[in-house]
Structure formats: structure tokens, C-alpha cells
Amino acid sequence: MTPAASAPAFDAARPLPVVLAGARGHGRWHLDNIRRLTREGLVRLAGICELTPLDEEELAGLGSPEQSADFAALLESTGARIAVVCTPIHTHTDLALTAAERGVHLLLEKPPAPSYAEFERMVKGVRAAGVACQIGFQSLGSHAVTAVRDLIADGAIGAVRGIGAAGAWSRDLAYWDRAPWAGRRRMEGRDVVDGVLTNPLAHAVATALRIDGGDRAEDVAGIELELYRANAIESDDTSCVRLRTAHGDGTAGEITAAVTLCAERPGEPYVVVHGTGGRITFWYKQDRLLLERDGHAPETTEHARTDLLRNLVAHLTGGEELLVPPERTGAFMRLVEAVRTAPEPRPLPAGAWRTEPGPGSDGSARRIVTGIDELVAAGAEELALYSELSDGSGPRAPWAAPAEPRRRSERETERELERKGAEA
């Protein structure tokens, strides 16, 4: 999935020409990142693919890149060597293949595709073209991920009992109106799958899978989902999932993630590794770790992060290993597929949520699920789905229905039988 040449593919002394597809919305982050790397002499912005051209203020510090709504033509006319694709989810595969067919390497935003079939089509095309592809899970560039895995390997918290992930964010009603595809499961006959698990808080699951070591498609042994929505959308905005993984060494893992976009008090998302002798909490947007273990004082450490576009450039110019190649997101794409094929998210009863003014001065409102912050935290702490949470006298989320286990593929069943055989 990366160039096979032993020598660097490009001259490290010359900035690589980049085309950015999708420069507004989240694309502004990529625009700023390209601006930073331009100042360092690593890249230059050769082109921007947008329906409405950017103005001089938006392009400050980036020169005068060519602008066009025709992605293929722009790649050819600019001589781009890298394409950063930050467009609607359902366009990812086609645009990635458009770049790959022209020998242009890729930084492709997450989720890489809206279905597993589209993901496979993209991977096959990228491999056939011999171009490098990096998937934009920025948290996987954090050096804290390696630090957590090293602590686990060293036995710092004993045997791992499971990994929890929690994300309590808030999005106002305008968020769902920002684009025709926002909050959609499908549009005009095409899969979109823009839900809380698959897009805004996708990093929570992807980071947990990388820490677990079960981030490839074949590592997934089972998925249980509970999908809910408080907003008037198609997709889920308040959900939880349990993933079971089967590792190549015969061991198994379990990840439970609870997330929402309807928080009362939005906070930083995190991943927590539960061990028999302690725990590690990782606030992945802050690159911060908290190690708590028996017989020791708590230890907090902060870690550096490698930018994924910088890593892609280093891969092309110096042979550095890609941090997030497509195959290392295969398990996450199994989750996307499970969400895509699951029953429609359950609308929460009117008594479970309320509408309040947003924190800004623009008069926007947001829907809040009562008590959801505590439920999200409890899910990650107890490795429990919403329907499994109880306070002793009854369910803590009375609106939650038990998850329906996703039917396993033949390969997943085979891996589970192999694991049980090894244990026997």
C-alpha cells in the first residue's frame, strides 16, 4: 500500500506540491496545517478544489494556488504529488481513486469510506496504483499511544481487563444543517453514515483499537451496538458499542465506547485502560496520560505528536513508516459497516432530552440528553453498554434497549474458534 522502492521517492530538499480537496469546514484545519508545513519548506499548496474559490484572506501565507471544482483536472494541471481529501464521507472513495490513478499520494480524512465495500474498493485501487495512503486519524500520531502500549507490555497495570472510551460533546441544531449530508445515514441512494461513532467521535474507538492492538479488519471477533438519537436526524447522536477482538497470539480484547453529541457539560474525550493492578487514562486530544497503579502515586505525563501530513512527507522523502495506513483502520471500518447495516437509531423519548440555548451569542440552541454525561463516564468505567447500567434499584438509562449482537462473518467465527482451541 506504499511505494516499494528502496530509495526515497522524492527529493527532501524540495517542497512537495499539495492539492487540498475541501478547504472549508474541517478543511480549514488542513489549510492551517499546510500553512505551517509550508513555512517549514516541506510542502507547497499547489491547488484547492472547492465549489466556491477561497479569497485572499483565506489564502494568507499560501501564495496563489490554482483553484478549481474539477479535482482530476486540478491534480493534472498542478503536478500534485499529495492530495489531502477532506470532503463529504460518501465522496472519499471516488476522490481517493481519482488521485491514486494519477500517481498522487493521499491523506484521506476519516472515516475513510461509508461502507466496508467502499473501503475495500479504495484499498484495492490504492494498492494497484502503488501510492501511499494515510488515513486522517490524527490521534494515532500521538506518542502517548506508544507510551500506553509500552506501559501495558511492561505490566505496569497488571493484566488488561478491558478498554473503555468516553466522549461527551455537544453540537447545536445548526450543526446538523451545515451540509446536506450532515446527520444522514444515506443520501440519494448512497451510504453516508454520518453518526457520532463513525465521524465526530470516531477517534475514541480508533484510538482504543490501536492501543488494544486489534485494529485490523481480521481482528474483530464481535460487535454489539446501541444507537440512539435525540436530534431530528437519521443517524445516531448518542450511542455505545462493545467490540471484541481476537489477536494473532491467541489473546482477546474488549473495548466499550460510550459517546454523545448531546452532553450537558461537554468535556475532553478519553480512553481508559483497565488493568488488574491499575489503570491508564489517555485524553487523546491533549496527548496527556494519567497512570494510576497500586502502591504508587498517580503519574501524569504529556507527550509529543507527529502530524500525519508531516509523516506522509517523511515517508515519501525518507522512507519513514506510515502511522495510519488503511489496513490499520480495518477494524474501525468493521464498526462503520456494523453501524451502516444496523437498524435505524432509536429516537429517544421526549422526556429524555431537552432543548437549551447554546453557549454562543448567535442564539443557536442544542438538545441535551438528561444525565448523559454520567452515563458516558459510567460506560467507560464499567465497560458497560447503556442498557446494562444500573444503580441497584433499576436501569440508569430507562430509554436504553439491549444491544443486538451483529452477526459475525465467517472469518470472524473462524478466528473465535481458533482462539477457543488455543485456550483449550
Mean pLDDT of the chain: 93
Same domain, 67 and 168: no
Identify the residue with better confidence: 88 or 419.
Answer: 88
Q: Are residues 240 and 285 in the same domain?
A: yes
The answer to whether 229 touches 237, Cβ cutoff 8 Å, is yes
Q: Are residues 190 and 244 in the same domain?
A: yes
Q: Is there a domain that residue 317 lies in?
A: no
User: Which residues lie across from 222 on neighbouring strands?
Assistant: 244
> What DSSP element (H or E) covers 251?
none
CATH of the domain at 43: 3.40.50.720
Residue 313 in domain: no
Residues 168 and 288 in one domain: yes
Same domain, 171 and 251: yes
Range scoring the smallest mean pLDDT among 1-5, 39-43, 254-258: 1-5
CA distance to 123, 198, 234, 348, 410, per residue, from 332 (Å): 14, 8, 21, 26, 18
Q: Which amino acid is at 330?
A: G
Banded pLDDT at 12 (limits 50, 70, 90): confident
Per-residue pLDDT at 1: 45
- Per-residue model confidence as pLDDT tens digits over 165-190: 999 999 999 999 999 999 999 999 99
Q: Backbone phi, then psi, for 375, in 5-degree steps?
A: -65, -40
* Confidence at residue 360, expressed as pLDDT on a 0 to 100 scale: 65
Pick from 77, 111, 131: which residue ends a domain? 131
**Model confidence band, residue 283 (pLDDT cutoffs 50, 70, 90):** very high
pTM beyond 0.75: the answer is yes
Do 350 and 256 belong together in one domain?
yes
pLDDT over threshold 90, residue 214: yes
- Whether 55 is in a domain gets the answer yes
The reported pLDDT for the residue numbered 269 is: 98
| Pair (51, 81) in one structural domain | yes
**pLDDT for 250:** 82
| Any domain includes 259 | yes
> Residue range 59-81: average pLDDT?
97
Average pLDDT over residues 198-208: 98
Sorted by sequence, the CB contacts under 8 Å of residue 397 that are 6+ apart come out as: 371, 375, 386, 387, 389
Do residues 107 and 179 both lie within one domain?
no
Q: What residue type is assigned to position 74 of the chain?
A: L
pLDDT of residue 284 exceeding 80, the answer is yes
pLDDT surpassing 50 at residue 98: yes
Residue 5 lies inside a defined structural domain of this protein: no
Together in a domain, 119 and 177: no
**The dihedral of CA 123, 101, 318, 82: what is its sign?**
negative
Q: Are 44 and 18 in contact (CB under 8 A)?
A: yes
Residue 332: inside a domain: yes
Domain edge (last residue) among 105, 131, 157 = 131
For residues 306-333, average pLDDT: 98
Clarify whether residues 187 and 232 are in a common domain.
yes
Q: How many domains does the chain have?
A: 2
Domain boundary (131, 160, 182) is at: 131
When pLDDT is averaged across residues 45-59 and rounded to a whole number, the result is: 96
- pLDDT at residue number 248: 82
The domain spanning residue 256 has which CATH number?
A: 3.30.360.10
Write down the pLDDT at residue 6: 42
Question: Quick one: 337 and 279 in the same domain?
Answer: yes
In a domain, 3, yes or no: no
The range of the structural domain enclosing residue 278 comes to 143-301+324-423
Q: Is residue 315 part of a domain?
A: no
What pLDDT score was predicted for residue 11? 74
Give the containing element (helix H, strand E) for 175: none
* 149 and 35 in a common domain: no
Q: Which 8-state DSSP code applies to residue 300? A: E
